[in-house]
Structure 1
Amino acid sequence: MNKIEKILVLSLFSFIFLFSSCQYKPGKEKVSATRVITDMAGREVKIPDTIHSVFIDRHSAQMLYAFDTAMTVNRVFNYNETEKKYLKASFYAAKPYVIEGATEEIIRLKPDVVIYSQELTKANIEEANVLQAKINIPVILLDMKIDQYKEILIFVGKLLHKPDKANELLAFVKTYIDSIPLKAQAIAERDKKRIYYAEGMKGMKTDPSGSVHSLLIDSVGAKNVATVDLLPGKGMTNVSMEQIYAWNPDIVLVWSGNFDGMDSYKFIKSNAVWSQLRAVKQKQVYQVPWCPFGWIDRPPGINRLIGYIWLSHLLYPDIYKVDMASVTKEFFHKFYHYDMSDKEVLEITDPQPVINSD
């Protein structure tokens, strides 16, 4: 073997050695890039640098959908056909209905992270720590307070590496939401509209002032007439017709359970017992929009932003002057990735169901 042949052989062996050393070795896992973030509860959480899949709870569903319609691994609501119309199929189709706390299901779905929107109490923070230890998947807590949505949008934008989308949503909040609580503070006590929030299939359940479910009534400068016990969780305290007559509200807001039939609204508008209530006589009964999520509540998520604008304009049109149709279209385009027609806006914001009297 001459000198040139020896050099070629040595070069070949060197190449084989270098190539083999770069190959994946059995038993060794590829290491993905990670980073450590501080969530909104002040917890340090190690997460993948790029998040591809997320397990959500009911309060964070709309927030994640606004940023990405497909990255959630679970479905937390059962949507009717009207609600589906305004949502991308990538958000719900072929995804299992699994709500928060289902430890085994979360492990089976293998999300990159779990994101919950919660009241940041000591108990909820501890539950997040326990869950993370059980599933060995990062758990990230978001604040669910409506007055924290600018901070939440900024946080989620950084979390998902989507700052441009965060800025787009942030601009909407600054333009339409920031002024509402300031104007509400200027409404004199004597000028505050007195509201009964009718829940349940016959309007005989409600939530008092201070409840997360009726928060927007207080926030826009109105007065919640219900003086009842504040129930935890889903709320909805039972009340009697005698109590409602004694409260004598100026306006009745109706939540019909996100059903297209609007049964509660129809019942209140047509039932003889309700008919003598001043608000009913004066045609001051309004169905709360519900598509694709409740506008005041159910769930208490980022869906409330459009409800914040709708309710303030409904109660005080001279104070909160907005083009409701235009703002609704803008919200749906930016937050729900849907371009509405004029007809759809009217159907959602001012439904007119056929009502048969008793």
Structure 2
Amino acid sequence: SFNVPPLNWIQTEMVQIAGGEPVWASIELGRGWTQVTLEQIAAWDPDQVFVVSYFKNPSEVVADLKADANWQALRAAKAGRLYAFPADLYSWDQPDTRWILGLMWLAGRIHPDRFSGLDIEAEARAFYQVLYGLDEDFFASKIKPTFKGDLP
């Protein structure tokens, strides 16, 4: 099974701010993550799927989904739009300072034509320099190696 967030959580807000439509808004949601089945996801048949994983590398999860015949039938999978939500030490979908990186990345995926010049690695480098005073060498040696998900 899979989970979707409530409408008032940051993950849903990020999708909306980035210009996307949370397909899960049409179902009854709980106060926390709500489990949904592949059948429900197939009924929605979304244009894009953004996979967040807190326990396994999200890129590995997406690779497993792409190899699954049931997932291959979805419009998003056929179009090559199953995405592993990025993370470094923490997922970029969390309500901490990194959410702004996740929002930029998400907007770039939802609207690639509008964000064709987005260099998310450069944005992350600047983020860590401005917010935490970390220099280029520290970023390259300590932060970038922790990147997971659909990142360079």
**8 Å Cα contact 1:225/1:249 also seen in 2:** yes
Partners of 1:290 and 1:222 in 2: CA distance: 20
Q: How does 1:1-358 map to 2 (within 5 A)?
A: 204-226=2-24, 227-232=26-31, 235-260=32-57, 262-297=59-94, 300-320=95-115, 321-338=117-134, 339=136, 340-341=139-140, 344=144, 347-348=147-148, 350=150
Matched AA of 1:310: W
TM-score with structure 1 length normalisation?
Answer: 0.36
Deviation, 1:215, is 1.6
1:287-338 deviation per Cα after TM superposition (whole angstroms, max 9, x unaligned):
01121221123xx122201111111122213323433222121012223444
1:36-95 deviation per Cα after TM superposition (whole angstroms, max 9, x unaligned):
xxxxxxxxxxxxxxxxxxxxxxxxxxxxxxxxxxxxxxxxxxxxxxxxxxxxxxxxxxxx
Partner of 1:58: none
TM-score with structure 2 length normalisation?
Answer: 0.79
**8 Å Cα contact 2:47/2:75 also seen in 1:** yes
Matched AA of 1:350: D
Return closer, same or farther for 1:261/1:247 CA change in 2, 3 Å cut-off: closer
Task: Judging by fraction of residues, say which structure has more helix.
Answer: 2
State the structure with bigger RCO (CA 8 A, min sep 6), 1 or 2: 2
Deviation, 1:261, is 6.8
**8 Å Cα contact 1:208/1:224 also seen in 2:** no
Partners of 2:71 and 2:126 in 1: CA distance: 37
Partners of 2:119 and 2:44 in 1: CA distance: 32
Partner of 1:155: none
| RMSD value, Cα | 2.8
Partners of 2:36 and 2:103 in 1: CA distance: 25
Deviation, 1:349, is 5.8
Deviation, 1:239, is 1.0
Partners of 1:245 and 1:254 in 2: CA distance: 15
Return closer, same or farther for 1:223/1:329 CA change in 2, 3 Å cut-off: same
Partners of 2:58 and 2:111 in 1: CA distance: 28
**8 Å Cα contact 2:71/2:77 also seen in 1:** yes
Structure 1 gaps of 5+ residues are 1-201, 353-358
1:129-177 deviation per Cα after TM superposition (whole angstroms, max 9, x unaligned):
xxxxxxxxxxxxxxxxxxxxxxxxxxxxxxxxxxxxxxxxxxxxxxxxx
**8 Å Cα contact 1:214/1:296 also seen in 2:** no
Equivalent pairs counted in the alignment come to 146
Partners of 2:112 and 2:146 in 1: CA distance: 17
1:232-259 deviation per Cα after TM superposition (whole angstroms, max 9, x unaligned):
2xx2211122211111100000011153
Structure 2 gaps of 5+ residues are none
**8 Å Cα contact 1:254/1:285 also seen in 2:** yes
